[in-house]
Structure formats: C-alpha cells, structure tokens
Chain A
Amino acid sequence: MNSPAIADIKVHHPPGDLAIWVFILAELLAFGVFFTTYVVTRMHNVALFDEMQLTLDRNAGALNTVFLIAGSWCVARSVAAIKLDHRAASARWLLWGILAGGGFLVVKLFEYSAKFEAGINLATNTFYMFYLSLTFFHFMHVILGMVILLAVWLKAHRGGYSAADHHGLETGASYWHMVDLVWIILFPLVYVMR
C-alpha cells in the first residue's frame, strides 16, 4: 500500500521519538568521553596498550562486527517493510535483528569467559580497565537494545504497526543503530588500531 504517509516520513527527521534522541545523544556523549579518555590514556601508555591489545581475540571481535552490522541491516529492512505496510515481513526482520544481537552476546560471553578464566578483571591494568569497561558498557547496551527490539517485535507481531503509524518501531530502530554505531567505533579503536 503506497500511502501518502511515505512522503511525510522523508521530511521528518530524525526518525523516532525526540525523547529517544535526547537519550541517544546522552549515551553517545558518555561513550564519546570514554573513547576520548581511552585515546588520551593510550597516548601515555602506548607500549602497554599495544602489548595488551595482542592478547585480545580479534576474530571474535570481527565476527561480532558482522553480527551487529547484519542486525542493523535487518532492523533497517524491518522499517522499510513497515513503510510498505508489510507487517509480517517487518516483524520477521525484527526477529532476525534480535537473533543477530543474541549471536553477538554469545560470542562476547565466550570472549569474556576466556578473560575471566585468565584472572583478568577491572584492576588488572589500565588497558584491561578500558577493555572491560568499554565492552561491558556496550554489552549492556546490546542487551537493552534487544529488550527494546523485543518489545517492539511483540507489538509488530500483533500487527500493531502500519505504514501510517510506526513511530515506536522507528524509535526502537534508532536506538539499535546507535548500539551498532558505538561498536563500529569501539572495535577498531580497542581491538585493531595500533
């Protein structure tokens, strides 16, 4: 169904509720300050950071990047689908997005358990303080993002969204993209950049 609402959506920026954007900006600010602190601290401890970085599981990080990008893509498909009023498809895509998030969590938990078995915690050294803090803070965001997507999916599944009204879906999707975006900065910064 090609409703005039589609034209409307194009002029409405940003997508989703303004309240979530205040929240997203606050979160990005927190992450931004955290990243900046990481970069500055690293400049003073290059040797330690470079050495410790090699102990990270870069493959797991890369796999997780794929999971999150795929997840974001699924959620974007879901929004596109609802704009065409394909309600069932929209809900299905959301489920795939949640699944991708679940994949991220599983990989991350394997990574964490290896670190914890090695006796690493927030007091190990400055690098691991940052590694654990940043990834854990992000990890929690993935969980929160999944909870939000799940709530949105529950409504989508019941056919609660339509081409004319999918405010909640776009709000949830915006948050999920933020979670993805943060990882796309975090991964190269902590795992790769030397």
Chain B
Amino acid sequence: MQYKSQSVAKLYFIAAIGLFVAQILFGLVMGLQYVMGDFLFPHIPFNVARMVHTNALIVWLLMGFMGAAYYLVPEESETELFSPKLAVLMFWIFLVAAALTVVGYLLVPYAGLAKLTGNDLLPTMGREFLEQPLPTKLGIVVVALVFLFNITMTVLKGRKTSISIVLLLGLWGLAIFFLFSFYNPDNVVKDKFYWWWVVHLWVEGVWELILGAILAFVLIKVTGVDREVIEKWLYVIVTLTLITGIIGTGHHYYWIGTPEYWQWWGSIFSALEPIPFFAMTLFAFNMVNRRRREHPNKAATLWALGTGVMSFLGAGVWGFLHTLAPVNFYTHGTQITAAHGHMAFYGAYVMVVLTMISYAMPILRGRAANSNKAQVMEMWAFWLMTVAIVFITLFLTAAGILQVWLQRIAATPMSFMDTQDKVALFYWMREWAGVVFLIGLLVYIWSFFCKGEDKTAA
C-alpha cells in the first residue's frame, strides 16, 4: 500500500462481501419460492425477498465501486485521499442506511413503510430496483455527492490520469442519472421511459466506464504493460460502449407505449453493444499475454480475465440474443430477461469488483499477494461461482424458451401459471446451481482466513 488513506477501501470491501452473502441467501429463498410457492409465506413474500436480493446487489456493487475508487484514486493521483475521515463517515452512514432499509423491507409491510417514510411527500417508491424509501434515496444522493467531492478533490490535487478521468466520469454519471429516480409521473409511459434513464444508462452506460477504469488499473498493476498502451485502449473501449449503449437504451422502448421508431433505433444500436464487450475481452487477454512481469497475485489476474469473458457472454451474447425487436416481441418479460440479467450482472459488475478486491485486499492486509494455498482456494471459488452462474443462465434460458413457446407462440397458448408449472424442472435445476454458487461464495470468504506462507510484503 503506497498511501495510508487507501486503507479506507478495506471497510467498503468487507461490507460489500457481507451484502453479497445476503444477496445470495435471498436469491436462494426466491429460487425456492419459484418451485415451492408458499415457502416462508407470509413472513417473507416473494416481492420482499426480491427487493432484498436486487437492492443488496446494487448497494454492494456501489460499495465495491466506492472502495475501488478510494483504493485506486490515491495511487493514480499519487497523493493521499482528500479526506479519509469523510470516507469513513460516509461508509457508516451508507451501511446504516442500507441496513435500516433492509430491516424496513423485512419487518414492515411495504405500504406501511411508504407511509412511515414520507412517500406521500414525493412518491418515488414501488418501482423496480428503485423501491428504496425516500430517506434512503436522499441518503444515497448525499453519500454519493460527498464521495464524489472527496474523490474529485483528490484527483484535482494530484496527477490526472486517463484512468481516474474515466472513473470520475462514470461516478459522476452514476450520481446524475440516479436523480431520475425522483421523477415519477402518473403517466405510465413517461414513468417507464425515464425509469430506464436510471437503470439502462447505469448498467449499459456509466457503470461500464467504472468497470473499464477498474479493469485497466488492475491490468496495469498485474501485467506491467505500459500505462500509455492500456489507457488509450481504455478510451477506445469506453467510446465504443457509449456510442452503442446510449442509443441502445431504445431496446427498452419497444412495448411500453413509446413510438415504433425505437424498435429500429434500439435494435440497430443495441445489436452493436456486444462489440465493446468483445473489445474488452480481447484487451484483457492481450494485455496479460504481453505482460512484462509475473505478478504473484494469480487470482487477481484470473478474475480480470474472467470479467472480460463473462461480461462478453452475459451482457454481449445473452443481451444480443433478445435485443432485436422481432425477437423481443416474444421474449420481453420472460425468464430470458432473467437469464441475461444474472449473467450480465455477475460477468460485468460482480466480477470487476471481485477483481479489485482480489488485487487490493492482500495489499491492504500488508502483503503483495496471498499465500499460494489461499489463492488456490480463491480460484476454486472463482470456478464454482462462475460455472454456477453459467448453469443458472442456461437453465433460465431453457425455462424462458419453453415459456415463450407455451405461453406466447403455441396455437393454444397456456396461461402464465400453467406455463410456470410446466417449466418447474428448470427452476429446480436453477436452484441447485444457486446452491453451488453459495458454496463458491463460502469458499471465497474462507479463502480470506486461509493461513499459509505469505508472499513478499507489499
């Protein structure tokens, strides 16, 4: 660790992993409810489990991004963090807010929670992924702004690298587009239209800048390839991302009351969205092949390469699968979307955060890399989780194809619930793959406590 203030990242990483566990546990609850409908009902209805599952994911990824930024920016800027105290304070505020929100979800009926938290003042709740009560939403804005202030000031007082510029742009974009979560018109078409400005422009826009910056940083560190080379490819990749991804938003505007020209614009531009992901895969492998040093942290390199491959598969290939309007007409709102969502989030964002944790955590704990034994364990976790997500995706895809066929294409279409019964086998297999994922996650956590001969001190 070159700068003392980088150590605040550790808090964020630990909390991120904690929330990751919560996310997976609630995912397993939901998976079981898919096949055993009354499981835990009425104590934890499906919608509550799903809120915890998705919101925990979002919060832990944000924690991961923030931790990554706190670790990466001082090193890039070659200066201590503007205010480590502020970073620690914001961490606790964020964590407490997240915990209170989850407790609220679990203990108070949602309508009561809405009343309790002043949703009547400005109704923003009850929309997918943006279920957070108003105080939580405001808290997110405050935490994000203070965080951005801290990071921006650090960059301004130190060296300005391409990586920190791209990262900052991504983080600022993240905060700015979140503001659309406060816009909730009665008009459903407009509501849905601008809702995507948070959701799509996050995950297929500004988050990818963050992803690119983190990946580039880790690649510089583990491969020793010239910064110059990595940075210009970073720019090329994020350019491709945004020129396809921004108008690619149109692929959500096919069937929600918006005009039909979106079907053309959305199909054409989102069909090009796999290109930047493919470029990223090539980039990651290319840089590792051209490495000029053998970094002792093999696990981090594996995560970095995994991010390239899995984001291409999940976001690129599985996204393309149902992005064209004539296909999407049949697949919209089915398990195909769920399949894509799982692999894309894991492949792109979960893996990039774990890449950063894998690289930074040993250094934060005072060594260049973990012991060989711990790394082997971490790599086991990598394969368990990655293979599990591949199978989750495949089973959900199979369920989705069958669902589309039975419910939407067949001459005598089946009702939704009858169709669900027909595809139950795939839901069972998905749940078992989910159990494997949890095992992978436990192995991952275990690897942090694995003793063994440490590699050279950092």
Contacts and interface: CB of A to CB of B under 8 A. Distances in A.
Interface stretch (B147-155, B171-179, B263-271, B403-411): B263-271
The SS class assigned to the B binding surface is helix
B261 A23 contact: no
Secondary structure call for the A interface: helix
16 contacts: A19-B236, A22-B236, A26-B244, A26-B272, A29-B272, A29-B275, A33-B271, A34-B268, A37-B268, A122-B261, A123-B259, A123-B260, A123-B261, A129-B260, A129-B261, A133-B265
A26 B275 contact: yes
A23 B240 CA distance: 8
A30 interface: yes
Interface string B269-303: 10110010000000000000000000000000000
Contacts of B260: 123, 129
B265 A26 contact: no
Contacts of B142: none
B47 interface: no
A25 to B, nearest CB: 10
A29 B271 CA distance: 11
Band of interface residues on B: 10 to 19
A33 B267 CA distance: 10
Contacts of B236: 19, 22
For the complex of A and B, the 6 pairs showing the least CB-CB separation, nearest first, are: A122-B261, A123-B259, A129-B261, A33-B268, A22-B236, A34-B268
Given A33-B271, A33-B272, A34-B268, A26 B232 contact: no
Interface in A120-174: 122-123, 129-130, 133
Interface in A16-70: 19, 22-23, 26-27, 29-30, 33-34, 37
A19 B232 contact: yes
A30 B261 contact: no
Contact of A133 (B235, B243, B261): B261
A192 to B, nearest CB: 22
A29 B268 CA distance: 10
B264 A30 contact: no
Given A33-B271, A129-B264, A26 B259 contact: no
A33 B323 CA distance: 15
B239 interface: yes
A122 to B, nearest CB: 4
Interface in B359-382: none
Interface string B238-267: 011001100000000000000111001101
A34 to B, nearest CB: 6
A30 B272 contact: yes
B55 to A, nearest CB: 35
Contacts of B259: 122-123
Contacts of B275: 26, 29
A128 to B, nearest CB: 10
Given A130-B264, A133-B265, 17 more contacts: A19-B232, A22-B240, A26-B244, A29-B275, A30-B243, A30-B244, A30-B269, A30-B272, A33-B272, A34-B268, A37-B264, A37-B267, A122-B261, A123-B259, A123-B260, A129-B264, A133-B264
A192 B232 CA distance: 42
Contacts of B261: 122-123, 129, 133
A23 B268 CA distance: 17
A19 B264 contact: no
Nearest to B240: A26
Given A129-B260, A129-B261, A133-B265, A26 B235 contact: no
A122 B259 CA distance: 8
Contacts of A130: 264
A22 B272 CA distance: 14
Given A122-B259, A129-B261, A30 B268 contact: yes
A183 to B, nearest CB: 18
Nearest to A38: B264
A23 to B, nearest CB: 7
Contacts of A34: 268
Contacts of A23: 239, 243
Interface centre among B232, B236, B259, B261 (most CB of A within 10 A): B261
Interface in A77-125: 122-123
